[in-house]
Amino acid sequence: MHSALSVLQENFKAIDQRSHLAATLEDRLNADAALEPVARPTWATPDEFLDFADTLARLDSSLIDQLASGTPHAIAAIHSLDDVPIHSVVDHSMQPWAAYIPPSYDPHKPAPLVVFLHGASQSEADIIASPWVRKEADATGAIVIAPYARGDSGYADPAPLEVYQSIDIAETAFSIDRKRVYLAGHSMGGFGVFVVGPLHPELWAGFLCASGSLTDDNKQSAARALAGKRVYIVEGALDTAVPPSYPEWTVSWLRAAGVIAGYYEQPDGGHPLGTIYPAFSQAWRDMLKGVTPRAKP
C-alpha cells in the first residue's frame, strides 16, 4: 500500500489528468494502508482478513501502476484477478474496473457473469478482494466484474452507463453465456440494483440485493421493469444500517407486482457481507442455478 501511495504521489498530476481521481485514490490508499491486524473485525477470521488485505493491496498497486504509466493491462489476459482502468464511455477518462476469473474458467465454454455493485465508501477493489465473493465465484464458475461506477454516487447518472459498458467489456474479453448474466450488489450496491437493473431488464437473468432495498422513488418503476424476473434479497436480522423491515417490504412489494422475489435472512448477521455469508451463499447459488427464490417464511 505504501509503495502504491509513493507511485501515486510521484505521478499525481498525470494520474489526475487521466482519471480525475488522484485525490480520491490517495484517500483510498491511506485508508487501505490502515488495514493492520488490530483492525480485523470480529466476524472475519485471521485468514479471511489477511486474504482480503493482501488481495486489496495487490489490486490497488496494479491500478496505480497502470494509471501512472497510462497503459492499461489487456483485460483478456487477466488470470485470477486485476483492477484495470477502462476508458469510460461517458467522458473517456480512465476509470477503475476490477475482475475475478475463477480457476475453472475455460475460454471454450461460456461462463456465467456477475456484475457486482460496491457499497458506499467502498470500491471495485473491495468487491474483488472479498473472500466471500470469490468463494461463490469459485463454487459456481462465475466471472465477477466490479465497476467503480463513479464511486459514492448512488449509481445515479452517468454511473449506469459505465455499469452497462462493463458487460460489453467482459463479453469482448471473455467467453460469456449471455443467458446467464446477473446483477448483484451490497449495501449502496444493493440499492443500486434497483436503479441500474430496470434500465435494461432484458439483459439480466437475475438480481441479487444484499443489505439493500427498493426506495419510494424507484419502487414503481422497478416493479414494472422487473415483472417476471427473479430477485434474491439477502439481509442480516441484526442489520442496523438497513433494518430488516426494508428488504422485507421490498420482497412484499415486488411479489405483489408479479416479480419472482425471495428473502434470505441470516439470523445472526449484521450489515457487513461477511456476517451474512451463509444466506448470501445460498441466494447466490440459487440465482446461478435458476432456482425460484423462496418467500419469507
Q: What is the pTM of this model?
A: 0.97
Question: Over the stretch 4-39, which tens digit does the pLDDT of each residue have?
Answer: 999 999 999 999 999 999 999 999 999 998 888 888
pLDDT reading at 295 higher than 90: no
What are the domain boundaries of the chain?
A: 1-71, 74-289
* Predicted pLDDT at 38: 87
CA angle 75, 177, 197 (to 5 degrees): 85
Which CATH class, in words, describes the domain spanning 74-289?
Answer: alpha beta
296 pLDDT band (50/70/90 cuts)? low
pLDDT at 297 exceeding the cut of 70: no
Query: How does DSSP classify residue 75?
Result: G
DSSP string, 227-277: TT-EEEEEEETT-SSS-THHHHHHHHHHHHTT-EEEEEEETT--SSGGGGH
